[in-house]
Structure 1
Amino acid sequence: MTPTPHTALKEWDTQCQALVAGQSALLIRKGGIMETHDGFEVEHRRFLLYPTFLHQNPAELRPEFTGRLRDDPRPGQIVLPALAEVVAIHRVESLEAALALEPYQALTAGAIERRFHYRNRPWVHALLLRVRPLREPLVLDETPEMLGCVSWVPMGDLEVEAGAPALPGAELERLGTEIEARLKAHTS
C-alpha cells in the first residue's frame, strides 16, 4: 500500500478519465466559485483525483473527449481512480499562450478563454501531472464536507495501491518539453 495524500482535487469526470487513460496529462485550472479571493492555488503537489459531474459541460470539451461523457455511475459515492503528482506548474498570464495549450488537454479553446477571464482575473494555471491509476479505485460515500464548488477536498486517512504511471516517464518528459516550448513561443 502507498501512503496517499490526504487531499483530493475535484475535476470534471471526463478529464479525470482522460488523465487515467494517458490520453492527457495536463489540466488548465482557474478555481471554483468558493475559492479564495486569489482563486485556485496549487496547494498540494500530490493528491487523489476526485471526478465530479457538477458543472461538466459537453460543449466545453474537445470532440475527441466527448465519448467519455457519462452519467454519474454511483450517485452519492465518490470513485477516486488515481493518484496524481504535479510535475510542472505554469501560471499562464497570456491568453494566446493559454490557447496554445488546447491540443494537450480536454477543454475547447472557448472553455480555456472563459476560464482565463473568469472573475476578471486574466490568468490560468496549467498543471502537468504524473497520474498513477489505483489498482482498485477507492469508493467512498460522499459526505456534506465533500460537496460544493471547491477544488481541494480533505480526505482524511486513506491508503491505496497505485499502479504504474498512465504515461511512461519519457513520454511525460517529452510532453513537458513541448508544453514549455509552446508557452515560451506564445508569451509576449
Structure 2
Amino acid sequence: MSINHRSFSEQLHCPRIPVKEIALKEWDVVIQAMEAGQQVILVRKGGLIEETKDFRLEDTSFYLFPTFEHQKRELLKSAYGPALEHSLAQALESQRHVTIRSLAHVTDDIELFDSFALKKLSPYHIFRDEYAEQRLNWQKNKPLHILIIRGYRLQSPVAIPVIPQYAGCKSWIRMESMIADNDCIPILDDQEFHRKRLDILRRLGVSGAEN
C-alpha cells in the first residue's frame, strides 16, 4: 500500500473559541455523523474550482460549514437514510443561512492511493464503499486524504448568513467574522477517541499506531 502520513497533536491546545475564522465545507449528513460520534474521519480530494484541483490542509483546527448539495441516499450506507432526510429538509433554509454547530481538530493527515487501504476504513465513514472508491479514483494521480479528526461541539451553535463568497465546489472558506464567546466540548472522551485513532492507524499499518 502506498501511504503518506502526517500526525499532529491529539486534541486542541485550548478547548475554547476562537479558532481561526477558517471553515471546511462538508456534507451536513457527514457532520451529523461526526457529532453523533459515529465518524472520526473526513474523506477529501479537493473542490472542482480550487486552483490546484487537489486538497490541501489549510489548518489543523477549523469550523465545519454544512453543505446540502450533492447529498444522495444511494451514496450513503442504508443506516444513514433518516439522517439524510433530516438534512434535506433544511436545504431550502440553507440558501439563506447555515448554522455552525461544531469544529474539527485534525490529528492525522493520511494520503491514500489504492482501494485496498480505503476499504479497511469502511467502519469509520458513512459512505457506501463504491462511492468512497469513486472519490479515490477521481483524478487518480492525486491522493485521497483521510483526515482523522477530533470533533468538538459548540456549546452555542451560531447561525451565519450565506454570502456569495461561500458558494461553489471548494473545500475551504474564510468566514466574514469570528465566532466568539463560545466554548467547545469534545464529542468523544479522550480514551474513546484515542482507541479509534489507533485502530485506524493499525488498519493501515501506519507507523506510530503503537503510541
> Is TM-score (shorter-chain normalized) higher than 0.5?
yes
| CA distance in structure 2 between the aligned counterparts of 1:118 and 1:149, rounded to whole angstroms | 15
Q: In structure 1, what is the equivalent of residue 174 of structure 2?
A: 154
Correspondence 1:51-90 to 2 at 5 A: 51-69=66-84, 70-73=87-90, 74-75=93-94, 76-90=96-110
The one-character-per-residue Cα deviations of 1:112-136 (angstroms, maximum 9, x if unpaired) are 1100011233531111111111112
Q: In structure 1, what is the equivalent of residue 4 of structure 2?
A: none
Q: Which of 150, 153, 163 in structure 1 is aligned with 2:184?
A: 163
Q: In structure 2, what is the equivalent of residue 174 of structure 1?
A: 195
Per-residue deviation, 1:104? 0.4
The residue matched to 2:56 in structure 1 has which SS?
coil
Question: Contact 2:21–2:176 at 8 Å: present in 1 too?
Answer: yes
Q: In structure 1, what is the equivalent of residue 138 of structure 2?
A: 118
Q: In structure 1, what is the equivalent of residue 51 of structure 2?
A: 36
| CA distance in structure 2 between the aligned counterparts of 1:151 and 1:37, rounded to whole angstroms | 12
Question: Contact 1:16–1:49 at 8 Å: present in 2 too?
Answer: yes
1:46 equivalent in alignment to 2:61: yes
Per-residue deviation, 1:23? 1.5
Per-residue deviation, 1:72? 4.9
Per-residue deviation, 1:163? 3.0
Question: Contact 1:132–1:162 at 8 Å: present in 2 too?
Answer: no
How many residue pairs get matched?
Answer: 185
The one-character-per-residue Cα deviations of 1:31-82 (angstroms, maximum 9, x if unpaired) are 2111233511111111000110111122111122222112252231111110
Question: Contact 1:31–1:39 at 8 Å: present in 2 too?
Answer: yes
Runs (4 or more) in structure 1 with deviation over 4 Å come to none
| CA distance in structure 1 between the aligned counterparts of 2:72 and 2:142, rounded to whole angstroms | 21
Per-residue deviation, 1:103? 0.9
- Where in structure 1 are there 5+ consecutive unaligned residues? none
Q: In structure 2, what is the equivalent of residue 92 of structure 1?
A: 112
C-alpha RMSD of the superposition: 1.6
Normalising by structure 2, report the TM-score.
0.82
Per-residue deviation, 1:137? 1.2
Q: Which of 159, 164, 170 in structure 2 is aligned with 1:144?
A: 164
Per-residue deviation, 1:25? 1.1
Normalising by structure 1, report the TM-score.
0.92
| CA distance in structure 2 between the aligned counterparts of 1:36 and 1:173, rounded to whole angstroms | 35
The residue matched to 2:34 in structure 1 has which SS?
helix
Give the aligned residue type for 1:182: R
Percent identity of equivalent pairs: 30
